[in-house]
Amino acid sequence: MNKTLIGIILIVVGAVLLLIGIKGYQKEEELFGARDFFSFTATRTKTVPVLKYIGSGVIGAGAILVITGFTKRK
């Protein structure tokens, strides 16, 4: 495969990872409870920032491959 094509694929994959990293997941946590009588719960939305860092790195690697793919050696 060509370096430029691999670079473009990596940029697309990195963009998808960044979009996934924006979304979060919901987790229901019990704040306080007294056995079976009553309990207080809260639903919190959390995001995992690891996907943002991985996506940024993949985009950077793809950009480097695209740039080196366009340069020609003499």
Tens digit of each residue's pLDDT (9 = 90 or more) over 23-74:
667 777 777 777 777 778 888 877 767 888 889 999 999 999 999 988 865 5
Number of domains forming the structure of the chain: 1
| DSSP string over 3-26 | HHHHHHHHHHHHHHHHHHHH--EE
Whole domain around residue 45: which residue ranges?
3-70
Cα(2)–Cα(9) distance, integer angstroms = 11
Q: Please list, in sequence order, all residues whose beta carbon lies within 8 angstroms of the beta carbon of residue 16, skipping any fewer than 6 positions away.
A: 55
Model's pTM, two decimal places? 0.64
